[in-house]
Amino acid sequence: MLAPLAYGLAVVLSLFVVFIGARFLLQPRAAAAGYGVPAKPDGDAAYLTVKGLRDLTSGVIGLALLAFADTDAAAWFMLAVALTPLGDTFIVLRHGGTKAAAFGIHFATAVIVLVSAALLFAA
């Protein structure tokens, strides 16, 4: 009973990261505003593209591990990838974003990813 929940949460999280990456590639300014640090109108769009590619790739790797590797590999991936939203928390705080965005979006996501890792380890 625990395995379907563990895999289901991990799949949803990975698909969500794919969506975020695609949004940064297709609508970079809107995605940056949703991230918590709006992009400057005259800023370098390449950095938004890098973020999109990073997130898209992370989500696809997560899905591939869930489909083709064992539960432990997927759990270790989720544990390691929790560093991304944790780092995003500090990026938002350091660059003028709100505490609500930093903790309500990014830190909360890190906690959910850690819960996903724990569930996968337990499954």
Decide if pLDDT at 42 tops 90: no
Sequence ranges of the domains in the chain:
2-34+42-122
Asked whether residue 43 carries a pLDDT value surpassing 90, the answer given is no
DSSP secondary structure string for all residues of the chain? -HHHHHHHHHHHHHHHHHHHHHHHHHSHHHHHHHHTSPPPTTS-HHHHHHHHHHHHHHHHHHHHHHHHS-HHHHHHHHHHHTHHHHHHHHHHHHTT--HHHIIIIIIHHHHHHHHHHHHHHH-
Q: Give the pLDDT confidence of 51-84 residue by residue, as tens digits.
A: 999 999 999 999 999 999 999 999 999 999 999 9
* pTM confidence score: 0.92
Q: What is the mean pLDDT of residues 40-46?
A: 84
Amino acid letter, residue 29: R
Over range 39-53, report the average pLDDT. Answer: 89
At 41, the pLDDT band (50, 70, 90 cuts) reads confident
Report, as an integer, the average pLDDT of 25-40.
93
